[in-house]
Structures are given as C-alpha cells and as structure tokens.
Chains A and B, each alone.
Chain A
Amino acid sequence: MATDQSASITFRVNGKDVEGHAEPRTLLVDFLRDTLRLTGTHIGCDTSQCGACVVHLDGIAVKSCSVLAVQAAGREVHTIEGLADADGSLHPMQEAFRQHHGLQCGFCTPGMVMTAIELAQSAEPLTPERVREGLEGNICRCTGYHNIVQAVLAGATAMRQ
C-alpha cells in the first residue's frame, strides 16, 4: 500500500472491530481520542516521554503518541477503556490503584495502569525496584511514586490469583 491521503483503516480495539479514516501522519493516540472518542488514553507531553498515552498493541505496551494509526491496521489494540468488565467491576490493576490510592489528579493513571499490566505479566517476580524501573517511562507530577509502586505490586499479585 502507498498513500498520502486519508484512508480507511480497520483494527480491533478492546475486542471490537473498528473502522475510521486517518491520514498516514495521524498518530494512533489521536485516532483513538478524536476518531473513536476513546479519551481515556491521554496526551501528556507529546514528546514520547511521559507515558500517559500507553496502550497495548498486539499485547505489547507502546506509546501511542509515537505510533502511526496506520501501523495498527489489522492489529489488536487495548486501551484503558477495555479493562473493566461489562458490569463495571474493575480490572485487578485498576482496583489496586484505587485501594492503594495510586493516583492524585489521575492524568497519568491510564498509562500507568497499562504499563503496570504488561509489567505484571512478565515472568520474573516483581520487586519494588523492578516496578520502579518498569515505570521509568511513566511520569507522575503529583503523588510521587510510592503509592503507585504499592498499587502495582498488589495489582500484580491479584492478577496472578
């Protein structure tokens, strides 16, 4: 394929087939937010540093401000909106952030949670140090990281049960 024009792209988002028009230069995060109205994925810095825009692309955590929407064509995307059950009960990692007060303003939280879920799925056991390393690409400007680390450890334990 070769195009510089707006074209229809199709991929799966949170288990549903979705379609929309995007130019090649449209970023995945903009497509999610502006076209699909999935505004849980945030744009914090737009320079690939803050991690507020982390989503899973084929199960791998990526910064959606640094991926083109067209690169997700035919693939599977998971965003923060897809985590909770249909009845509204939270994903174990979301619940852990709530229980441990791992947020203050909440702006960085969607990216934190998506990064934390990938971290929790790694084979190695998590330690506070590994969690801190794993969150190096996610920046919180209000709480400090202590409660976030506690939440990720608890969420990872809950996910394994």
Chain B
Amino acid sequence: MYRFTYHQPVTLNDAVQLASSTEDGSYLAGGMTLLPTMKFRLANPSDLIDLGGVEELRGIAEEDGRLRIGASSTHAEVAASALVADRMPALAELAGRIGDPAVRNRGTIGGSIANADPAADYPAALLALDAEVITNQRTIAAADFFTGFFSTALAPGELVTAVRFATPAQAAYQKAPNPASRFALVGVFVARHADGVRVAVTGAGPCAARYPAFEAALDASFTPEAAAGVPVEDAGLTSDLHASAAYRAHLIGIMAKRAVAAC
C-alpha cells in the first residue's frame, strides 16, 4: 500500500471540507473494496478521510413514508434491522447475503453504491425500490445515480449521506452468486409498487439497470410464468471468466422467475 495521510473527522462538514482541501483524497467507509484495492496498489489516494466517526451518517429510520438508511449503515446492521425487516424484508435479506459475515460487519451501503461495482447487490435494490440517494449537496434519483461501469453521478468530493427507499407492496431479490466472492453473477430485484412493477438486474452488464420488458409482462400478470416467458437478449451483457453473456441472459430469466415466486 502506498503512503497516505489519514483523517478522522467527526462531523459531516469536516469530512467534506477535508475532501475539498486534499490533493487526491478519498472517503473511507467500510473499506471492504478500497483497502484491498490500495493493497494491490491499484488505488493511490493522497489522503483517506475515514467516515467511521461521523455520527450523521448513521441510523435507520422512517422519514416521509420512506425508509431512510444512513450511508454508514453496515450490511449486517441493515440485515438485522427490525424496521427494515418489517417494511421491506427483501432488502434485509439482500444485505444479509452480501459477501460473508466479516465483510457485512464492515461494508456499508454508502460505500457500496458509491463504488458502483457492476456485480454489487444494492444497486438492483435502489433501482427497483425507487430509491433516492441523498448527498451533502442534493438528492439524486437512483435511475440517475448509476451511470456506468464503476461510475456514478457523484461529483468529486460529493458524499452520499443516506439512501431513502420507497416501501413496496411486495418485493424479492434472487441472485446466482459467484461461489468464491458471493458477488452476483446475476441478481434480480422485483418490487411491486402501487404504480407498477419494477424489475432491476445487477451483475449482468456494466451497471445495474431496469428491464422494462419484464416490468410490462409482470404488470400484465404478476406470476413466475409471466417472468419466465420474457425473452432476454445477450447483446451488451458481460462475458468474462465467470460466465458468458448467453449464460447471464439465461440467468436473468431464471432469477426473475424465482424472485416473483418469492414475493
């Protein structure tokens, strides 16, 4: 790991100030991606601004009919939250299947979405649960947040402070995990809202995306069979050593069908 300067602010304001005053600083949330990346010397921030002491980024609460999850909430905290389990159990289950227990004890929702790994689980949930990403500057709709491969709408120094989810009538998430990393080869989040069904897929392409053909089919008939009947093109999907694009396309249909059955 290259040398860096370590900062431990205790307020949001100080954290943001530090980020703007450093040459090439990076926020440090749970560190489950950033620290291993730095160990490989694939990242070389001049400064690390550790968010662990910033109380304003913590907490899970209901707010204006939405569920607000503070950016520093760990996957373990989301998985164990009685409020999340009551309002959207699919989200608690998703959080409880990220990585492994020690990773869930450190990794955070804010860190995960800011990193925008194409195979991370949370992005599918944000898209299907019509989430808003709250930053220190503004509110960003999930649809506008994920912009590509490891890319988000966040400006330099902009910090995710919370995510606010719309409560669905029914929802479920199903994934085919990579057996080594537990990242999603393909993960499908299905959520039925008053204004229609949302289906979001992660792991299959450069970034999580909604699948309108599934949404239309499930709006017409919310059944596993309807999901299974939707054709999926493999054009544009990821092919790598873990799975071919054709296999990922196949898995999208399977996971969508299972998610609907689990609703």
Q: Is the CB of A61 within 8 A of B3?
A: no
- Over the window 61-91 of chain A, the binary record of Cβ atoms lying under 8 Å from chain B Cβ atoms (1 yes, 0 no) is 1110111101100000000000000000000
Report the interface size for chain A: residues with CB under 8 A from the other chain: 31
User: Residue-by-residue, is B22-44 near A (CB-CB < 8 Å gives 1, otherwise 0)?
Assistant: 00000000011001101100000
Q: In the complex, what residues of B have CB within 8 A of residue A119's CB?
A: 101
| Number of B residues, CB within 8 Å of A | 29
A25 interfacial by beta-carbon distance below 8 Å? yes
Stretch at the interface among B102-110, B115-123, B208-216, B239-247: B102-110
Quick check: A47 and B36 within 8 Å, CB to CB?
yes
Bound CA–CA A25/B8 (angstroms): 14
Within the assembled complex, what's the spacing in Å between the Cα atoms of A63 and B5? Answer: 22
Partner of B36, one of A48, A70, A138: A48
From the candidates B2, B31, B105, B182, name the one contacting A136 in the complex (CB within 8 A): B182
Which residues of chain A come closer than 8 Å to B100, judged between CB atoms? 51, 136-138
B residues 148-200 touching A (CB-CB < 8 Å): 180-182
Contacting pair B102 A2 (CB below 8 A): no
What CA separation (Å) do A60 and B30 show in the bound complex?
Answer: 13
Taking CB atoms, residues of chain A closer than 8 Å to B4 are 4, 24-25
Asked if A19 is an interface residue, CB under 8 A from chain B, the answer is no
Q: What's the least CB distance linking B23 to chain A, in Å? A: 12
A25 to B38, CA, bound (A): 9
Residues of chain B with a CB closer than 8 A to A2's CB:
5-7, 47
- Which of B1, B6, B39 has most A Cβ within 10 Å? B6
Whether B106 and A62, one on each chain, are in contact in the complex, defined by CB atoms closer than 8 angstroms, is: yes
B6 and A61: CB pair below 8 A? no
Complex contacts, B47 vs chain A, CB 8 Å: 2
A123-156 interface bits toward B, Cβ cutoff 8 Å, 1 = contact, 0 = none: 0000000000010111000000000000000000
Q: Could you tell me which residues of chain B, from 52 to 74, have a CB within 8 Å of some CB in chain A?
A: 52
Cβ of B125 to closest chain A Cβ, rounded Å: 20
Known pairs A25-B1, A62-B105; list 13 more (Cβ under 8 Å): A2-B7, A4-B5, A48-B36, A48-B103, A61-B105, A63-B106, A66-B31, A66-B32, A66-B106, A67-B106, A68-B6, A119-B101, A137-B103
A-B CB proximity, top 4 nearest: A137-B100, A24-B6, A4-B5, A136-B100
Can you list 28 residue pairs at the A/B interface with Cβ under 8 Å? Answer: A1-B6, A1-B7, A2-B5, A2-B7, A3-B5, A4-B4, A4-B6, A24-B3, A24-B5, A24-B48, A25-B4, A27-B1, A46-B39, A48-B103, A49-B180, A51-B100, A51-B102, A54-B102, A60-B76, A60-B105, A61-B105, A63-B103, A70-B6, A71-B50, A115-B101, A119-B101, A136-B182, A137-B100
Please report A residues at the B interface, Cβ cutoff 8 Å: 1-4, 23-25, 27, 46-49, 51, 54, 60-63, 65-68, 70-71, 115, 118-119, 134, 136-138
B-to-A contact residues, CB < 8 Å: 1-8, 31-32, 35-36, 38-39, 47-48, 50, 52, 76, 99-103, 105-106, 180-182
